């Protein structure tokens, strides 16, 4: 029973990925991030203590109580029927922390206040500690990597493609300064794609998952034609035997000649002139929808896997384009 409850607390903790993602735009960011970290990592730590991680097994109840209080404050910033289910669990944890209640309830279901020291093996403890450190790092660094390279003024700018997603509660903004004219950036954007110029990022990582991407180091005239409706391929048609479909990639939704490329499912790549010899390349990804039960596990995957991987690859892409453009236009 002790380890079952611990596993449920761990799952409840990771379910806060959805609550935090949707509450972040309500802001202020630092406050939401603090509550999010206390709730998510707190419940995972409390659950790990019940399962048998040394030191945490003695502190699981005060940690769970703190996590429940933070969770209620977090959910209050974005109340929905889904998050209210989580609030009910938080309320049960807080009630269970009352001395008289916990003496009766915990002992009745066979969970002592201080669980016996049946600790996990060293490998299990190492995995648990790594998971806690990994989740903490992602949460605390998220405000930085979700807005990497952009200014407050650029965050407030209206960009091409914004009108395609109304009332977006999810945004990723990345940007980089390129010391070259704006017109010199567009040819590199026009030829992106697995079967064209690549994505100028870490192609060895893409090939590691079986995607034969090769990054071009020159502008190819045959790849400069791109129109609305075209497919920017992410992988060849026979990728993994075609299990993901033959058209894996992003459709071109909108083009502003030599200034913006908007891709369905990815976002807008926008070249902003600064002066005759400097430009800014901005990438904005916007998501729409609402929080549902089905989106809870997807949010955990997004927070723990997609967002850090997306940041690494997109940052590499921006730096790759910057390097190529500046190398071509250097004195």
Q: Is the pLDDT of residue 221 over 90?
A: yes
pLDDT of residue 50: 87
Q: Whose structure tokens read 């206390």?
A: 38
CATH numbers and ranges of domains, the chain: 2-139 (no CATH), 152-329 (3.30.530)
Q: Is the pLDDT of residue 220 over 80?
A: yes
Calculate the alpha carbon distances from 22 to 41, 95, 182, 189 in Å: 17, 27, 35, 31
Q: Is the pLDDT of residue 186 over 80?
A: yes
Contact 122, 222 (CB under 8 A): no
For the stretch 103-146, pLDDT in tens is: 555 555 555 555 555 677 788 889 999 999 999 999 999 999 99
Which of 13-27, 108-122, 210-224 is the most confident on average?
210-224
Report the pLDDT averaged over residues 168-194. 93
pLDDT of residue 168: 62
| Nearest partner of 186 among 149, 223, 147, judged by Cα | 223
- Give the count of alpha carbons within 13 A of 85, CB side only: 11
- CB atoms under 10 Å from CB of 10, counted, come to 20
For the stretch 307-328, pLDDT in tens is: 999 999 999 999 999 999 999 8
| Nearest partner of 175 among 269, 295, 259, judged by Cα | 269
* pLDDT tier for residue 82 given thresholds of 50, 70 and 90: confident
Q: Which residue has the higher pLDDT, 170 or 66?
A: 66
């Amino acid at each position: 029973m002790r380890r079952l409850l611990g596993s449920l607390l761990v799952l409840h903790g990771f379910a806060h990925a959805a609550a935090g993602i949707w509450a972040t735009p309500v802001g202020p960011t630092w406050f939401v991030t603090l509550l999010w970290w206390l709730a998510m990592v707190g419940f995972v730590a409390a659950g790990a203590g019940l399962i048998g991680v040394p030191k945490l097994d003695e502190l699981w109840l005060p940690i769970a109580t703190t996590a429940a209080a933070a969770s209620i404050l977090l959910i209050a910033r974005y109340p929905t029927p889904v998050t209210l289910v989580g609030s009910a669990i938080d309320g049960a944890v807080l009630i269970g922390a009352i001395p008289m209640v916990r003496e009766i309830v915990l002992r009745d279901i066979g969970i002592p206040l201080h669980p016996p020291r049946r600790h996990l093996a060293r490998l299990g403890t190492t995995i648990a500690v790594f998971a806690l450190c990994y989740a903490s790092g992602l949460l605390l660094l998220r405000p930085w990597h979700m807005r990497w390279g952009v200014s407050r003024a650029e965050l407030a700018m209206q960009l091409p493609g914004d009108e395609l997603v109304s009332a977006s509660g999810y945004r990723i903004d990345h940007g980089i300064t390129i010391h070259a004219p704006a017109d010199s950036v567009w040819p590199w954007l026009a030829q992106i794609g697995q079967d064209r110029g690549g994505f100028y990022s870490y192609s060895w990582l893409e090939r590691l998952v079986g995607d034969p991407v090769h990054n071009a180091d020159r502008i190819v005239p045959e790849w400069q034609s791109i129109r609305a409706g075209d497919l920017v391929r992410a992988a060849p048609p026979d990728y993994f035997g075609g299990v993901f479909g033959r058209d894996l990639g992003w459709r071109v939704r909108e083009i502003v000649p030599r200034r913006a490329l908007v891709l369905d499912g990815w976002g807008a790549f926008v070249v902003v002139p600064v002066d005759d010899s400097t430009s800014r390349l901005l990438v904005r990804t916007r998501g729409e929808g609402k929080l549902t039960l089905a989106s809870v596990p997807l949010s955990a995957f997004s927070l723990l896997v997609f967002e850090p991987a997306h940041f690494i690859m997109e940052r590499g892409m921006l730096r790759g384009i910057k390097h190529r453009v500046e190398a071509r236009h250097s004195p």
